[in-house]
Structure 1
Amino acid sequence: MIDLDIRQLQSFLVVAAELNITRASARLHLSQQTLSTQIQQLERALAVTLLVRTSRGVLLTPAGEELARGGNAVVADLGALTERVQAADRGNLGKLQLAVCPYATSLFATEVADAMEAAVPGLEVDLTTVHTPPAERELLLSGEADAAFIWLPLGDDRFQHAVVRTDPRVVALSPKHPLAEQESVTLADLADEPVLRPDIYLSEENLRHWMADPRPDGTAAQRGPEVEKVEDALMMVARRKGVWLAPEPLSRWIPATAVVWRTVTDAEPSELALVWTDRAPAQLIARMIAEVRTIIGQSEPALV
């Protein structure tokens, strides 16, 4: 069996990402000579050439490409194993507390929990249901939850997040509204409609996104009355007191027999993210992001 040094593999993966020894050494806080030596040692251990230098940096060989593809998974799995071993030493194989809003996550939350427990032996995933994003935020800040699914933007730099799905925007209308006869609407169609504001928004930035404010022509959206619950907003919609904009999945899961939903063709899409704090176990969060994206069939590259 080939004896691989995990530090050499990690260094190679940084070089593979940067395709530049100078930038990679700066990220790793190593001298260029030390980094080059690590790569050479890794090449000798594998008996292959992993990269070649060029005037602009380095290029990966086919062997290097293959190692880069599989190496990140190896490092992630080793990190997860390390966490499980340490948890076992503490007499606790691990528990992950996940806060969810039923309407936002009912399509996949239980699947994610089951997939995580299958992928990480000994892990227990607890789902805690709350009814609003501010309640999710409070669980995260208090440490009662490790992660939560929340619609962006957060408007709060205390959290990290990774987008896991993107959905079009819809508007709730009274069945008696003239626009209800159309299959879809535009924001210009809604220019004179007050947008109702249930108490679910995390910040002014979050509220403005949900209201599509400003509109594409630069005008401000009309702010309708504030209400306590989404259900209150929908009742007011039914009574022609305003409209409510939401991500499309909510139209399928919020009980709303008295309203109709129409796609808003020119509204920016809504992004659902896995959100966590610095206290959350990083390796488990990384695994959960991968599991969620696999389950719902979407992929987003960035962690923010």
Structure 2
Amino acid sequence: MELRLLASFVAVAEELHFGRAAARLHLAQPSLSQQIQRLERSVGVQLVERSSRQVNLTPAGEVLRDLARSILTQTEEARSTVREVALGRAGTLQIGYNFASGQRILPAALVRMNTILPNVTVNLIEQRTGPQLAALSAGALDIGLVYGRPAATEFHSQPLLQVPLVAVVGRGHSWARRARTSFSELAGQSCILFERQQCPAMYDAIHHAAERSGIKLNVEHHLDDPNATAIMVSVKPMVGFASSVRAGAAPTAGYNQTVTVALHDPVPTVELCIVWRADDTRPIVRSFLGCIESARSSESVTKLQSLLAQ
């Protein structure tokens, strides 16, 4: 059953006049009559009753009219959707992110995406860097917002922000009333850290700062869950680590009973990056990268305004 024949039949069914239907379709009337006859032969039943004065649909024609309208509508929607996907204006993106990107970059990028590309669906997954890169490699994520540029050639990346790291302690800790402390003072503290594969860039930044300070960290526990780390330091005199973004964020589960203390001399810093697969050239990915760039520009303007207001 050809779509062209269905479209001709719907025109006749709606106009109930071959002349008007032919004009609507920009066809000669004899050609339209031949198309209706072909359709009737295709389905094996009469669809149109035609006399010298009027055109009516048979009961079978009335049923096909409604079905044909639905088929034509769905066909056009399918064509439109396929074109939009091909142009990067529709589809689904699986995006991984960490806390800092969720606070500083991602919201503005998603607002921009929803404004210019409302037909793109975004699914968000919060993860540390290591799990994000593994998911990207496996195809479970399309884009990752992580700390550090991955060395693997299978990825492309772009730096977004420099993010200082801070110490996290409980409210009863001796550092709780401090605004900042020298990194070397960690030499006398029990620390909680995560396994390196969870976030290599942050792990290395902390240890490089320790080397520059001439100290060795006393890592008493390894915990990969940031909230679990916050809970642990809230009940024990220990020090955890987080991005400085947490210092200005609203308290979350686990962080209600903790405070952040700025580290200096040196300041451990990580680079927030956006990462995607090198072989992923889909327009939808390029579209989101453009939204991220727009969000980063907005972040820079906000930071400058904050500095000028000081």
Q: Percent identity?
A: 12
Residue correspondence of structure 1 range 73-222 to structure 2 within 5 A: 88=84, 90=86, 93-95=89-91, 96-102=93-99, 104-119=101-116, 121=117, 124-152=120-148, 154=150, 156-198=152-194, 201-202=197-198, 204=200, 206-222=202-218
For the pair 1:297 / 2:294, whether they are aligned, the reply is no
Deviation at 1:220, TM superposition (A): 2.9
Matched, 1:227 2:223: yes
Q: Which amino acid aligns with 1:263?
A: A
- Cα 1:204–1:170 change in 2 (3 A) is closer
Tell which deviates more after alignment, 89-98 or 225-234.
Answer: 89-98
Contact persistence 1:94–1:123 (CA under 8 A):
yes
Change (3 A) 1:200 1:130: farther
Segments of structure 1 that go 5 or more residues without pairing to the other structure are 1-85, 300-304
Measure the CA separation in 2 of the matches of 1:200 and 1:127: 27
Report the Cα offset of residue 87 of structure 1: 5.1
What do the CA deviations read for 1:156-191 (whole angstroms, capped 9, x no partner)?
554222121222221101222222222211101212
Aligned to 2:276: 276
State the 1:262 CA deviation.
1.0
Relative to structure 1, is the Cα distance of residues 264 and 215 closer, same or farther in structure 2, using a 3 angstrom cutoff? same
Larger Cα Rg: Structure 1 or Structure 2? 2
8 Å CA contact 1:155–1:206 kept in 2: the answer is: no
Kindly tell me the number of residue pairs found equivalent between the two proteins. 215
Alpha-carbon shift at residue 264 of structure 1 (Å): 0.7
TM-score scaled by length of structure 1:
0.59
SS of residue matched to 1:234: helix
- Give, in angstroms, the shift of residue 275 of structure 1: 1.3
Separation in structure 2 between the aligned mates of residue 89 and residue 234 of structure 1, nearest angstrom: 43
Cα pair distance change 1:199/1:232, threshold 3 Å: farther
- Counterpart of 2:98 in structure 1: which amino acid? C
Contact conserved, 1:155 with 1:203, CA < 8 A, in 2? no
Correspondence for 1:26: none
Contact 1:100/1:129, CA 8 A, preserved across alignment: yes
Deviation at 1:125, TM superposition (A): 4.6
Provide the C-alpha distance between the structure 1 equivalents of 2:160 and 2:152, rounded to a whole number of angstroms: 18
Of stretches 284-293 and 256-265 in structure 1, the one that deviates more from structure 2 is 284-293
Q: 1:228 to 1:216 in 2, by over 3 A?
A: closer
User: More deviation in 182-191 or 253-262?
Assistant: 253-262
> What's 2:16 paired with?
none
Residues in 2 aligned to 1:274 and 1:298: alpha-carbon distance in whole angstroms = 20
1:131-176 Cα deviation digits (max 9, x unpaired): 4333322331122322111122546554222121222221101222
Q: Is the partner of 2:233 in helix, strand or coil?
A: helix
Letter in 2 for 1:172: V
Q: Secondary structure at the match of 1:220?
A: coil
Is the Cα contact below 8 Å between 2:206 and 2:268 reproduced in 1? no
- 2:256 corresponds in structure 1 to 257
CA contact (8 A) 2:128 2:199 kept: no
What amino acid maps onto 2:169 in structure 1? Answer: L
Q: Separation in 1 of the partners of 2:144 and 2:223? A: 24
Q: TM-score, normalised by structure 2?
A: 0.58
* Structure 2 residues not aligned, in runs of 5+: 1-81, 303-310
Q: 1:199 to 1:97 in 2, by over 3 A?
A: same
Determine the C-alpha separation between the residues in 2 that align with 1:272 and 1:93.
Answer: 26
Paired position in structure 2 for 1:238? 234
CA gap of 1:106–1:125, structure 2 versus 1, over 3 A, is: farther
Equivalent pair of 1:162/1:274 in contact (CA under 8 Å): yes
Note closer, same or farther for the CA distance 1:226–1:181 as it changes in structure 2 (3 Å cut). Answer: same
Q: Partner of 2:12 in structure 1? A: none
